[in-house]
Amino acid sequence: MTEVVPSSQEESEVTASPSASWAAAEVMPEPLPRPEFPAIFREHLGYLWHALRRLGVRERDLEDVTHDVFMAVLKKLDQYDATRPLRPWLFGFAFRFASDYRDLARHRYEVMGEGHEPLDEGPSALDGVLTSEALVVARRALSGLELGRRAVFILHELDECPMPEVAEALGIPLNTAYSRLRLARADLAVTVRRLRSRGEP
């Protein structure tokens, strides 16, 4: 049998050709850098402040709860996936702290004999669009939502986050997120009609 010997040109092409794995490694994009904590604090302090207020944290407690949220963010920053949007991730912290806050506040109110939690008067993304009267109605209706439904509504309807990001931020199944959004919309519609029928605000 005659041995086939590659020509010098063929030999050089074989030698110069990288392996598939090496080529893939060359074109792999470098991981995105995580944002620095000071930058997160400066750019998102206002957002988290308003998110906590929308979620029912009282004005007098906002500074303390916001501080606690940022401390938790700092501890978990190495777990943040820089390919994902930052605000839904931050909102997840706000939601968990607001939930704990409301549980503690409810206990304090029961001990003190107060009848109910005050309405949340925080601003919403509807500011500047609705009339002042309609805005107050919207705020009161939003503050009456169950916290889980309110969180989904805020993230999707006000912060305009896609539903998969909402579900991931809140740590719930996507179907649950859609269910809460549907119930939140229905609850809001009923509450707005009731408030308007009473001539409120």
136 or 169, which is more confident: 169
Residue 132 has pLDDT above 80, yes or no: no
Residue 38 has pLDDT above 60, yes or no: yes
DSSP state, 157?
I
How many CA atoms lie less than 13 Å away from 119 in the CB half-sphere?
12
Q: pLDDT digit string (tens) for 175-195?
A: 999 999 999 999 988 888 888
Please, are residues 184 and 145 in contact by the beta-carbon 8 Å criterion? yes
Q: Where are the domains of the chain?
A: 37-197
Check: pTM over 0.75? Answer yes or no.
Answer: no
Residue 3 has pLDDT above 80, yes or no: no
At 139 the pLDDT is 81
1 or 52, which is more confident: 52
Distance in angstroms between the alpha carbons of the first and the last residue of the chain: 99
Q: Which of 155, 36, 42, 145 is nearest to 94 (CA)?
A: 155
As a whole number of angstroms, the distance between CA 164 and CA 178 comes to: 9
Q: Which of 139, 158, 135 is nearest to 56 (CA)?
A: 139
Which range (95-109, 116-130, 138-152) has the least confidence?
116-130
As a whole number of angstroms, the distance between CA 192 and CA 87 comes to: 28
At 125 the pLDDT is 45
Residue 14 has pLDDT above 50, yes or no: no
Please, which pLDDT band fits residue 33 given cuts at 50, 70 and 90? confident
Helix ranges (DSSP H) in 55-155 = 62-76, 86-112, 132-143, 147-153
Which two three-digit tokens encode residue 90?
């931050």
Q: Who's near 99: CB < 8 A, 6+ residues apart? A: 55, 147
Calculate the average pLDDT of the chain: 79
As a whole number of angstroms, the distance between CA 86 and CA 41 comes to: 12
Share of the chain above pLDDT 90, in %: 54
